[in-house]
Amino acid sequence: MIDLRSDTVTTPTPQMRKAMAEAEVGDDVFREDPTVNALEEKVANMFGFEAGLFTPSGTMANQLSINVLTGQGDEVLIEETGHIFNYESTAASHLSSVLLRPLQGVKGKLSADVLKDTIRGQKEWEPRTQVVALENSTNKGGGCCYTEQEFAAISSFATQNGLAIHLDGARIWNAMTTTQTEPTFFSRIADTMSVCFSKGLGAPVGSMILSSQKNITEARRMRKMWGGGMRQIGLLAAAADYAIEHHLPKLKKDHQRAQELAKVINQCSGLSIDLESVETNILIFNVKEMAAEEAVEQLADEGIQVVPFGPKTLRATFHFQIDDDDLATVKEAFEKLFNG
């Protein structure tokens, strides 16, 4: 089965397993795991932040970020298709007692213009607007990326209005590959940032929150409170470090394969796609003549897995364990099923 459901479906390579098996480990709750300590320092330095904290999931990294940037009754502005709003089980309201306020952007992205006139908190019956949450690349936005100019405009707006910025960088590696943005740029526009190792990079588990030393100290306490204090996690940190060193360079090829399939989809009479929205490894496209679930079943019969993303919408996501032979098979199946 050729699995295009997500870039989270990858499995550790033999070389990654070897790195995990050989990792030096210790008790991370005592801060004695040398491998995770080194990874936190490495990734923080890479992105220009003071400190980092390894977490078991991207959701926990995002929620820790929101928690350290807000107080009870505060408001977080977010694009309406954002992961934190749609796929984190209302965690922000449950864990931090804050309101997520969805705004309509473009391709999953907010802008300074969209944020204009959104600030609340002058009256006692209003929530206090405190944070702008951004996502790069965007998931439901089809893998689109912010430009440095777009980030700079939002950062300027946030500074002028006393707001913090959290950047959900679950697929920041893909975004950097496409935009060629230097990693340290993000620490200049974001107060907190999450990065994920188990999506495009292909590690089995793990994300990280990056921020100031003060925020990371508080996040470490909250991580323990939420059940995220772990012990010999050098095994997982070693996998993440291996992924950064060996899998990050492969993302460009993932993007190229996505572009190739997008061109085939665009030529299929039974499908439609916005080619200009294809920037990274994610394809979101529509089925014209049948329901999404039916299309999923027909593709499965051809040995291809994708996910429904709406009543007539599908998502296909490329990763490093999809090769050129797989791509050829997928292209042939799409042409057979959806082109006349």
**Percent of the chain surpassing pLDDT 90:** 99
Phi, psi of 56 (to 5 degrees): -70, -15
Closest CA to 210 of 224, 222, 196: 196
In this structure, the number of other CB atoms found within 10 A of the CB of residue 90 comes to: 9
pLDDT (0 to 100) of residue 340 = 77
Beta carbons of 291 and 270 less than 8 angstroms apart: no
Beta carbons of 38 and 95 less than 8 angstroms apart: no
| Tens of pLDDT, residues 194-205 | 999 999 999 999
Q: How confident is the model at residue 22 (pLDDT cuts 50, 70, 90)?
A: very high
Element (H, E) at 308: strand 307-310
Per-residue pLDDT averaged across 259-264, rounded? 98
**Cα separation of the two ends of the chain:** 25
Beta carbons of 332 and 313 less than 8 angstroms apart: no
Q: Which domains does the chain have, with CATH numbers?
A: 14-246 (3.40.640.10), 250-338 (3.90.1150.10)
Per-residue pLDDT averaged across 277-305, rounded? 97
pLDDT (0 to 100) of residue 337 = 96
| Tens of pLDDT, residues 310-339 | 999 999 999 999 999 999 999 999 999 999
Contacts of 105 (CB under 8 A, 6+ apart): 79, 80, 81, 111, 114
Residue 280 has pLDDT above 80, yes or no: yes
Beta carbons of 90 and 63 less than 8 angstroms apart: no
Per-residue pLDDT averaged across 144-155, rounded? 98
**Model pTM greater than 0.85?**
yes
Average pLDDT over the chain reads 97
| Tens of pLDDT, residues 157-206 | 999 999 999 999 999 999 999 999 999 999 999 999 999 999 999 999 99
Phi, psi of 147 (to 5 degrees): -85, 165
CA-to-CA dists, residue 255 to 74, 124, 134, 144, 314, angstroms: 38, 48, 22, 12, 18
pLDDT (0 to 100) of residue 251 = 98
Instruction: In whole angstroms, give the CA distance from residue 286 to residue 262.
Output: 12
Per-residue pLDDT averaged across 213-240, rounded? 98
**Percent of the chain surpassing pLDDT 70:** 100
Residue 309 has pLDDT above 90, yes or no: yes
pLDDT (0 to 100) of residue 232 = 98
Per-residue pLDDT averaged across 106-112, rounded? 97
Per-residue pLDDT averaged across 2-31, rounded? 98
Q: Which value, to the nearest 10 degrees, does the dihedral of the CA atoms of residues 277, 2, 305, 141 take?
A: -20
User: In this structure, is the dihedral angle defined by the CA atoms of residues 208, 58, 89 and 145, taken in order, positive or negative?
Assistant: positive
Q: In 144-232, at which residue ranges do the beta strands (DSSP E only) sit?
A: 164-169, 192-196, 207-211
pLDDT (0 to 100) of residue 72 = 96
Contacts of 312 (CB under 8 A, 6+ apart): 286, 287, 288, 290, 291, 292
